[in-house]
Amino acid sequence: MELENINIERELKILFMGTPDFSVPVLEGLMKNYKIRAIVTQPDRVGKNNKVIFPPIKKVGIDNTILVLQPEKIKESIDEILSLQPDLIITCAYGQILPKQILDYPRLGCINVHASLLPKLRGGAPIHRAIMLGHAKTGITIMYMNEGMDQGDIISQSEVEITNTDTAETLHDKLSIAGRDLLLETLPDIIAGKSSRTPQNSNEATYAFVIKREDERINFSKSRKEIYNKVRGLNSWPGSYCYFEGKILKVWECYVSDRYFPSLFDGQITGIYEDGFGVKVNNGELVFTVVQPEGKKKMNAIDFINGVNNKEQLVGKILD
């Protein structure tokens, strides 16, 4: 009987929708256990020097001879999607809202792998926001999809700790693996029709809106912890920034010091140290250790200082 069930599961028509690196371990885990009918991902983009950039999920599909569809707007490709007759649709960081006709079609439903503990952090940037908001933990939610943004019934969840040194990049990697593992753990019950459904409490909902340019700028009147969390939460993309002598200076890494400079202005450079330079903020000092001047690559803050004209006069200057 167990072998028969395995064969039935492998014959399921599963449609996977995803786009970025976050989705890759999830898809690869699925492929080891189930047959993927097709992959739907975002269109290719044109980068520098007119180089065509494939979504990471597309490469997985090509390498494994899986049909890949890339509709510019999925609502204009409903018939093509439904012609595949999917029994189950799984989405993971796909990047488009599914029309009701698609949501209603699969006999086993449409499920989503979301990188937060819903109803907390609904939206497109839950990993960044979890760190920026100072959360001690986040996690993965497997949910049935509906027409609302991350509002569907919860099937399963798993928690992931956020350490004080996590960045968006390290947390991204941990959550991606956690998402793969939880999905594979949850799928048998979904397929057997035994999965639980827990409605979300909308009164407890918070939102992780997509990062905008204004979110990236450092406000030196904020506390050390708030700015430190912003820098970590935007590393390795898109990065936080301030201005130094009228030019953008991205800040990739920093740490909180125990020094205080009550007589200085917020944003004023406090000193040059072995590993970087200090900046006065609302309730103390941060030390910037890895920065990126406008038009240049990332560098250690000491190398940046050594490239500044009249670096001996750097202390006391204002970042804004």
Res. 200: pLDDT tops 50: yes
* pLDDT one-digit tens code per residue, 141-183: 999 999 999 999 999 999 999 999 999 999 999 999 999 999 9
Q: Residues with Cβ < 8 Å from 7, sequence gap 6 or more?
A: none
Residues facing 14 on adjacent strands: 36, 88
Unique residue bearing structure tokens 């009918």: 37
Q: Give the mean pLDDT of the chain.
A: 94
- How does residue 313 score in pLDDT terms, banded at 50, 70 and 90? confident
Interval 84-91 mean pLDDT? 97
Q: Give the 3-state DSSP-derived string for 220-263, with helices as H, strands as E and coil as C.
A: CCCCHHHHHHHHHHCCCCCCEEEEECCEEEEEEEEEECCCCCCC
Strand locations in 120-257 (E)? 137-144, 154-161, 240-244, 247-256
- How does residue 10 score in pLDDT terms, banded at 50, 70 and 90? low
The Cα 159–Cα 92 span in angstroms is 17
pTM reported for the whole predicted model: 0.93
Interval 281-306 mean pLDDT? 96
* Domain residue ranges in the chain: 2-204, 213-313
CATH topology of domain 213-313: Methionyl-tRNA Fmet Formyltransferase; Chain A, domain 2 (3.10.25)
CATH 3.30.930.10 fits 2-204, yes or no: no
Token digits of residue 147: 């027409």
SS3 126: helix
